[in-house]
């Protein structure tokens, strides 16, 4: 099988309602739904809430990863989604996850970078 580059999206988002980015509880269920919807293979996960608010989430997938880091005091989310195309083309999946998370947080995109790798 010939290697096909996958899509890697790195983005900074802002939110007006910081309640969704104070704790990982709100997004954890959404991430699980996305993993099931797109039939991804979860290998492990770490969700960590910081004292005073904000969280880090890292979901390791056989296809690669999804990570989120939040700063509610700044209304900021840093998002990183990468899925390889080793066994199937996941380009649409990366874009679908990205768009769903933007809608979930009612976020605006400050910076967006898409890398083919």
Work out the average pLDDT over 76-103.
96
**Average confidence score pLDDT of the chain:** 95
Is the model's pLDDT at 67 over the cut of 80? Answer: yes
User: What number is the average pLDDT over the span 65-94?
Assistant: 96
Q: What pLDDT was estimated at residue 90?
A: 94
pTM value?
0.95
Q: Is residue 12 part of a domain?
A: yes
Residues sharing a CB contact under 8 Å with residue 36, sequence separation 6 or more, in sequence order:
none
What's residue 1's pLDDT? Answer: 63
pLDDT at 79 exceeding the cut of 90: yes
16 within domain boundaries: yes
Q: Which domain covers residue 74, as residue numbers?
A: 7-116
Domain assignment of residue 64, yes or no: yes
End-to-end CA distance of the chain: 16
Please count the structural domains in the chain.
Answer: 1
CA distance 57 to 81: 12
CATH number at residue 110: 3.60.90.10
């Amino acid at each position: 099988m010939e290697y096909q580059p996958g899509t890697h999206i790195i983005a900074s988002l802002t939110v007006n309602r910081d309640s969704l980015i104070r704790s990982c509880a709100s997004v954890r269920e959404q991430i699980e739904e996305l993993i099931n919807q797109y039939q991804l293979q979860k290998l492990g996960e770490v969700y960590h809430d910081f004292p005073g608010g904000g969280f880090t989430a890292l979901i390791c997938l056989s296809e690669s990863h999804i990570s989120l880091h939040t700063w509610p005091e700044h209304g900021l989310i840093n998002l990183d989604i990468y899925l390889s195309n080793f066994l199937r083309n996941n380009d649409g999946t990366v874009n679908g996850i990205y768009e769903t998370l933007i809608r979930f947080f009612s976020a605006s995109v400050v910076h967006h970078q898409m890398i083919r790798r």
